[in-house]
Amino acid sequence: MLFRQRTAGVKYTRKMKPALILGTLLIAITAALTACAAPKGGIVILENPNGMEFTMDFKEWSAKNKCELSLEKGDELQVEIARDGGEIALAVSGKNGSEPYTGNDLRSGIFTVTVSETDEYAITITGKDATGKVTLKNLAGQ
């Protein structure tokens, strides 16, 4: 009787092996295909060697990116936006808590932002299917 139970167990295990192998294979394929999916669009950020200007060029980009810039009290940042499509948001915030600029759904144009204190500032750009270019230039360096 003990022998029969083992035989029954072996037959059951043999039936389960193909299902187990197939299940493992499906999970592995799904994981591989998910890992190969590239994020939508792209962004290229170029900083001038003097550290006073940088340009963000993007195409059908949907994400958030951050750059840092050291600014002195009274410095003016010139922001030039050339939006060809999608939505662009921009925020300038200091590590000490100041937030000299926050803007959503920005249109093409040029404007300046003056900082009220010396600090290390984070410039955060967010895009939703955004295509265009944003250039930030510290006018104090000219």
Claim to verify: residue 49 and residue 29 sit in the same structural domain = no
How many structural domains are present in the chain? 2
- List, for residues 28-76, the tens digit of each pLDDT value: 666 655 555 455 677 777 777 677 888 889 899 899 988 888 889 999 9
Asked whether the predicted pLDDT for residue 134 surpasses 70, the reply is: yes
Q: Which two tokens stand for residue 113?
A: 């932002």
Average pLDDT value for the chain = 80
pLDDT at 33: 55
pLDDT tier for residue 140 given thresholds of 50, 70 and 90: confident
- More confidently predicted of 54 and 127: 127
103 burial (CB, 10 Å; 0-12 / 13-18 / 19+) is middle
Domain of residue 61 covers: 42-141
Instruction: Report d(CA 61, CA 59) in Å as an integer.
Output: 5
Q: Are residues 50 and 23 in the same domain?
A: no
> Same structural domain for residues 108 and 127?
yes
Residues 11 and 59 in one domain: no
